[in-house]
Amino acid sequence: MRKLFRYLKPYRGFAILSPLLMMGEVLADLCLPYLMSFIVNYGIIGEDISESKLASTVMGILFPSGDYTSLHIIITFGVLMLLVTLVGGFFGTFCAYTAARAAQGFGHDLRRDAYARVMSLSIEQTDRFTTGSLVTRMTNDIAMIVEFVEMLLRMFVRSPMFFVGGTVFLLTLDIRFGMVLLVSLPVLLVTLILVLACAVPLFSVVQKKLDRVNCVVQENVSGARIVKASVQEEYERHRFDVANSELRSISYRVQRLMAITHPVLVLVQNFAVIAIIYLGGSSIAEGLGGMSTGNVMAAVTYTTQVVFSIMMMTTMFHSVSRALASVKRVREVMDTEPVITDGEGAVTSPEAPVAVEFKNVGFRYPGTVGAPVLHDINLQVRRGETLAIVGATGSGKSSLVHLIPRFYDATEGEVLVDGAPVGSYKLKDLRRKVGFVLQKSELFSDTVSGNIRWGRRDATDEEVRDAARVAQADDFVSGFSDGYDSMIAEKGASLSGGQKQRLSIARAVARRPEILVLDDATSALDLSTEAKLQAALRERMQDTTVIMIAQRVASVRSADRIAVVEDGTIRHCAPHEELLQISDTYRDIYASQMQKGGAANE
């Protein structure tokens, strides 16, 4: 918590001013009942104004002759009341302004830094948080904290001040009124605490039931085909109704419980009022002096204010616990140190014949034990060469290429790009050299050309089109009604897998990278399209080093060399024909895909 409060520092002026202004507002509010009691006592009932030093002094200053009627008293204190209201409102508004400036400024800075932190984390670190949780941390949790800070600056001053101030003013009216508070407050507190103690644990149950309802809906929406194909609509409706009625009954239980608080609050308050009228009334009736109708009325107001401040404080405790949970979740992000950091800037040899080199590279995922994912990798990829990588799922192909743009750092050995260790590059420079097309093609809600231009912002329309042509995307894009200006909705939900992959490739091509990595990025293309793509790449990007992972032998056979990865290391690396001779694994793969009954061999 304290660490996040650092973010308030630039706004400390506002943050300090705000509670002070709030005090002004509360004081003004507390003065009002006193002024009203003057109006009632000396203006309406017509008691002797000399009983109150303050009231008579005020009137004495305004009417030095002492020549005033009770109506003058009403109007004088009425105007005073309005002035105090104005001053209080002025304080209140400025308090709101300062609190908002402090809290929103705090929120903006925190959000920016938290987001920058997320962006600087490695892929493995973001994976550990899961994307969904990162999104809520960035949005809901921070919003919750901002709201909390604002409340802290305003309400956390307001309620205790009302409590203390109201009590003090009440006791100055009559010390016996303290007894009323002494009886009513514990009753209220105990009830509130009991209700909350019962209800709070139920909140998480409600959330769980709600999740369950959402889960069923989600499954039915995304799995509509299988539900319909299995003719299980009845069953699903039943499943939903069960979840839905569970949600209803638990929500009802919670709301019923919470419904106790309001009546109890009002009841306690009203009985306190009755007690005050009784106590005050008998004082007056007995002519004991010092008590007046106006005072009773003021006391009633102070009592209700004190009772409400208690109510407010309990709700505040609740929001504290909620905010703390959010703080914890944001802190977890902020406290995660990025493991991949910028290098000093590399000294490269652009003329070197080797574009990418792996030297005795070993790798294991952070925090894992057992056999490493990669070990003893030695590989040189020449400038302009096309290298294909094949191997079973989990053999380490993807991990291997992820080391090039430093998605991960090798745990052993060295990865070099243009003769310089990847760690020595500034990340931006390194990633500018490497065009990386991921297994999962990710498009953005933008136009087609906007998506391709994402690779290089200053690409001209012609360059965008050109990149699309190389990626074999031009044909289908031209078929869209708006061509390159067509919007891609919902991250490309309307496109087929193959179309998405081609656009991702176009994006990477538009970047004109020195090294192009295709991480199984052509799996959804049919082979003739893929073959055209490869031909285009060869022709148009002769200087570009291409490293591609693929499952299909047909995709890789035309590569200059094919690396066969098995159990975390490169077993063989040679052209297709040669590999058929030397690698059993490659022959197996080839056989299973190319010849009849490959599957039945097992």
Partner 1 sequence: MNNGERREERRTAAPALDFRPGRGNMNSRAMVQKPKDMKKTIGRLLRYLGRSRYVLLSLLVIMLLVTAADLCGPLLQGKAIDAIEPVYRNAATGEILFDYDKNDPVWGDIEVKTTFEVHFTAGNYVGRSGKTAGLVPYLVAMGVLFLCSSLLSYFQGTISAKLSQQTVYNLRSDLFHKISRLPISYTDTHRHGDLMSRMTNDAENVSNAISQSITALFSGVITLVGAFSMMLILSPVMTLVALVTIPLSIFVSAKLGKFMRKYFIRQQRLLGSLNGTVEEMVTSYETGVAYGKEGDAVNVFSGISGELRDCAVKARVWGSIMGPVMNFIGNLQYVLIAATGGALILFSGTSTVSIGNIQSMLSYSKKFTHPINQIANQYSTILTALAGAERIFEIMDSPDEIDEGTLEVSPAEIKGDIQFSKVQFHYVEGEPVLCGLDLTVKAGQKIAIVGATGSGKTTVVNLLTRFYEVVDGNITVDGMDIRQLPKRTLRRSIAIVLQDTVLFHDTIRANIKYSRPDATDAEMEAAAAHAKADRFIDRLPDGYDTVLAEGGSNLSRGQRQLLAIARAVLADPKILILDEATSSVDTRTEMHIQQAMLALMKNRTSLVIAHRLSTIRDADVIVVVKDGVIAESGSHEVLLQQGGEYAKLYRNQFAGIAT
Is 167 an interacting residue with respect to partner 1 (CB under 8 A)?
Answer: no
Is 157 an interacting residue with respect to partner 1 (CB under 8 A)?
Answer: no
CA-CA distances (angstroms) from residue 15 to 34, 42, 103, 150? 30, 42, 8, 9
The residue within the footprint of partner 1, chosen from 427, 487, 574, 580 (CB under 8 A), is 427
Burial of 195 by CB count in 10 Å (0-12 exposed, 13-18 middle, 19+ buried)?
Answer: middle
Helices (runs of H) and strands (runs of E) counted in the chain: 22, 10
Distance CA 97, CA 368 (A): 51
Shortest CA distance to 18 belongs to which of 162, 165, 156?
156
Binding mask 263-292 for partner 1 (x = CB under 8 A): xxxxx--xx-xx--xx-xxx-xxxx-----
Is 123 an interacting residue with respect to partner 1 (CB under 8 A)?
Answer: yes
Is 324 an interacting residue with respect to partner 1 (CB under 8 A)?
Answer: no
Is 10 an interacting residue with respect to partner 1 (CB under 8 A)?
Answer: no
Is 23 an interacting residue with respect to partner 1 (CB under 8 A)?
Answer: no
Is 396 an interacting residue with respect to partner 1 (CB under 8 A)?
Answer: no
Is 223 an interacting residue with respect to partner 1 (CB under 8 A)?
Answer: yes
Interacting residues with partner 1 between 464 and 503 (CB under 8 A): 489-491, 493, 496, 498
The residue within the footprint of partner 1, chosen from 120, 336, 380, 411 (CB under 8 A), is 120
Q: Which is nearer to partner 1, 1 or 266 (CB)?
A: 266
8 Å CB contact between 452 and 459? yes
Q: Which is nearer to partner 1, 120 or 411 (CB)?
A: 120
Is 183 an interacting residue with respect to partner 1 (CB under 8 A)?
Answer: no
- What strands lie across the sheet with 561-566, from one edge to the other? 434-437, 515-519, 545-549, 386-390, 561-566, 569-574
Q: How far is the CB of 426 from partner 1 (least distance, A)?
A: 9
Is 171 an interacting residue with respect to partner 1 (CB under 8 A)?
Answer: no
Q: How far is the CB of 353 from partner 1 (least distance, A)?
A: 25
Q: How far is the CB of 63 from partner 1 (least distance, A)?
A: 16
Is 566 an interacting residue with respect to partner 1 (CB under 8 A)?
Answer: no
Q: Name the region of 404 (left: φ>0; alpha: ψ -120 to 50; beta: rest).
A: alpha
Distance CA 85, CA 406 (A): 63
Distance CA 390, CA 519 (A): 11
Is 304 an interacting residue with respect to partner 1 (CB under 8 A)?
Answer: yes
Distance CA 75, CA 82 (A): 10
Question: Hey, how many other C-beta atoms are within 10 angstroms of the C-beta on 511?
Answer: 22
DSSP category for residue 344: S
Is 424 an interacting residue with respect to partner 1 (CB under 8 A)?
Answer: no
Is 587 an interacting residue with respect to partner 1 (CB under 8 A)?
Answer: no
Dihedral of alpha carbons 37, 43, 46, 48, sign:
positive
Q: Which is nearer to partner 1, 363 or 425 (CB)?
A: 425
Q: Which stretch binds partner 1 (CB under 8 A): 377-385, 411-419, 441-449, 458-466?
A: 441-449
Q: Which is nearer to partner 1, 142 or 379 (CB)?
A: 142
Distance CA 341, CA 344 (A): 10
Q: Total binding residues for partner 1 by CB under 8 A?
A: 202
The residue within the footprint of partner 1, chosen from 438, 487, 574, 580 (CB under 8 A), is 438
DSSP for 428-460, please give it: HHHHHHEEEE-SS----SSBHHHHHHTS-TT--
Is 189 an interacting residue with respect to partner 1 (CB under 8 A)?
Answer: no
Which amino acid makes up residue 206? Answer: V
Q: Which is nearer to partner 1, 199 or 387 (CB)?
A: 199
Binding mask 48-87 for partner 1 (x = CB under 8 A): ---------------------xxx-xxx--xx-xx--xx-
Q: Which stretch binds partner 1 (CB under 8 A): 138-146, 180-188, 356-364, 375-383?
A: 138-146
The residue within the footprint of partner 1, chosen from 148, 407, 408, 484 (CB under 8 A), is 407
Residue 159, classed as helix, strand or coil, is helix
Pairing state between β 386-390 and 561-566 = parallel
> What is the 3-state composition of the chain as percent helix, strand, coil, each rounded to the nearest 5?
65, 10, 25
The residue within the footprint of partner 1, chosen from 96, 187, 487, 574 (CB under 8 A), is 96
Is 317 an interacting residue with respect to partner 1 (CB under 8 A)?
Answer: no
Q: Which is nearer to partner 1, 324 or 359 (CB)?
A: 324
Q: Which stretch binds partner 1 (CB under 8 A): 180-188, 209-217, 374-382, 416-424?
A: 209-217
Q: Which is nearer to partner 1, 201 or 353 (CB)?
A: 201
Is 201 an interacting residue with respect to partner 1 (CB under 8 A)?
Answer: no
DSSP for 538-599, please give it: HHH-TTSEEEEE-S-HHHHTTSSEEEEEETTEEEEEE-HHHHHHH-HHHHHHHHHHHSTTTG
Q: Which is nearer to partner 1, 182 or 229 (CB)?
A: 229
Residue 494, classed as helix, strand or coil, is coil
- Which pair of tokens denotes residue 137? 């941390």
- Which pair of tokens denotes residue 121? 């984390």
The residue within the footprint of partner 1, chosen from 164, 334, 487, 531 (CB under 8 A), is 531
Is 190 an interacting residue with respect to partner 1 (CB under 8 A)?
Answer: no
Q: Which stretch binds partner 1 (CB under 8 A): 357-365, 379-387, 466-474, 524-532?
A: 524-532
8 Å CB contact between 310 and 166? no
Q: Which is nearer to partner 1, 129 or 359 (CB)?
A: 129
Q: How many residues does the chain have?
A: 602
Residue 412, classed as helix, strand or coil, is strand
Distance CA 399, CA 546 (A): 17
The residue within the footprint of partner 1, chosen from 53, 61, 131, 350 (CB under 8 A), is 131
Interacting residues with partner 1 between 337 and 376 (CB under 8 A): none
Q: How far is the CB of 3 from partner 1 (least distance, A)?
A: 20
The residue within the footprint of partner 1, chosen from 171, 217, 324, 487 (CB under 8 A), is 217
